[in-house]
Chain A
């Protein structure tokens, strides 16, 4: 039955978008995405702490850009081509320099669906990003057409990286070097961070969450190990994937506590013979009041953690 409701709803949305919405979208594309210059030449848009919805047009991840003396680098392109275009408008309000690089911190739709707004740039990602996009891209296009609607999804393209990072890489924007680092499986199996050396600002992608419950889509054991190494990164502040810009490395404390609690609870449950379905409801409940979107993602995290940790 629900299925039929969706059908009907889709048709209404699609017919509407064929007329008014498509026009409205192109008008709105000129509106700049609100950004803050958190360090000289380094701009950030802090996304809504929310799931991607039609109302927020998928604009939930933090996105940003760094301006060098020659070129601009974008770090994550947002959750729709519309958001990507608004980001480009925000860039143009600051500089006429070309956007040479679009760095994708990982494959999730809220970070890469804006890529098509920057066609012509070099797309930079972890060595495993292309594989992840291959495995998930078609599914994401299909699933988010359902969740965001055809209007928002029409122009979204899955764009694979043309420059890959295996280990570490320097990107020179002109008198400004970005240090890129590809990590072992943690939030995903293709997380990439970007350190702006001039200002000591770390774009951590979804290796760091604040306020928004961390989401596990890679390896819990890997993530806890990576947090230890991340803490050594010589930065003053962090732009997390979700949540406010914060001091570094103090910003790691909250998610480290949550992930450690999750691991401890799930290990205990596995040892006690509890089923994966039961653990989805019981693990890490002591963290519930400390995070937004806990009910949306904790069961998922516990499920993934169980499937990983039962092989220990």
Chain B
């Protein structure tokens, strides 16, 4: 018992005792020998999480359908790039309806869910997340066959003084809700039906709410973007539902199929009820 309690305090993130402490406790009581090998494995953690998030629906291997790219080691715990790709073979009639990004060991494992518009053609989307600990990161795709497919990667936590916290807290607060929209040149330089790339940026502290004021011993309230939708003309490109694992100043770079619509629009809201909206003209030819 002693050994188990110590091992949990050593290697376990907040998340485990906050969100699946039930699992740890259950294992503690059901497994007879207090051997370290019986601490919940990363597979145990994921199985429990997947069951909670996807309500027990089966998850098939998504290799060859979707991919996830992250650095093997988080350089900066507060800003870890993640790129999600649709890699289905040409001719596969299915498309991706939604992607769910799960950072198993984070305090809030579901980093974001992305739903895609019917003809958005988003085959790549990248963002930046916080990584609290050594962790598996799972990407679950829901395809138009209504089945779920999963792939995963593994990220080592960053070392040293890097923390998944604000770097310049005054700046983040002062410019709350500012947005940028960028498009990138397409090497194939084609017309309206070719893939293009764009980026949406919004200033927001995306506070975790897990930060405790050492003087008052009160938790600083969580403050984060909970929903963000990007449209090309009236057509939805994607809608993100997110939480505190998305980095400060949420940032999404994605590919899409240009329709020739005159504008791009972004609408976001945070958990404090703030709404942010902005619109940009599409550049001719994009």
* Contacts from A to B (Cβ < 8 Å): 1-4, 6-8, 10-11, 13-15, 51-52, 108-110, 128, 130-140, 142-143, 145-147, 150, 158-160, 185, 188-189, 215, 217-219, 222, 273, 275-277, 280, 296-297, 299-300, 302-304, 307-308, 310-311
CA–CA, A189 to B170, complex, Å? 8
Contact with A along B1-28 (1 / 0, CB 8 A): 0010011011101100000000000000
Is the Cβ of A4 less than 8 Å from the Cβ of B14? no
Is the Cβ of A276 less than 8 Å from the Cβ of B128? yes
Is the Cβ of A6 less than 8 Å from the Cβ of B214? no
Chain A, residue nearest B166 (CB): A135
Out of A7, A8, A185, A273, which one reaches B184, CB within 8 Å? A273
- Tally A-B pairs: CB < 8 A: 172
Is the Cβ of B128 less than 8 Å from the Cβ of A135? no
Is the Cβ of B168 less than 8 Å from the Cβ of A185? yes
Out of B39, B161, B163, B210, which one reaches A7, CB within 8 Å? B39
> Which residues in B have their C-beta under 8 angstroms from that of A6?
10-11, 134
CA–CA, A277 to B73, complex, Å? 12
Is the Cβ of B214 less than 8 Å from the Cβ of A158? yes
Contact with A along B202-231 (1 / 0, CB 8 A): 010000001111110000100000000000
> Which residues in B have their C-beta under 8 angstroms from that of A218?
167-168
Cross-chain pairs A/B with CB under 8 angstroms, 8 sampled:
A8-B7, A109-B161, A142-B14, A143-B157, A158-B214, A189-B169, A302-B75, A303-B75
B185 proximal to A (CB < 8 A) = yes
Chain B, residue nearest A131 (CB): B169
> Which residues in B have their C-beta under 8 angstroms from that of A108?
161
**Interface window among B76-84, B92-100, B275-283:** B76-84
CA–CA, A69 to B161, complex, Å? 36
Chain A, residue nearest B161 (CB): A108
CA–CA, A35 to B283, complex, Å? 63
User: Looking at B128, B160, B163, B180, which has the most chain A CB atoms within 10 Å of its CB?
Assistant: B160
Assuming the contacts A2-B134, A7-B10, asked whether A280 and B75 have C-beta atoms less than 8 A apart, the reply is yes
Quote the shortest CB–CB distance from A55 to chain B (angstroms).
14
CA–CA, A151 to B134, complex, Å? 21
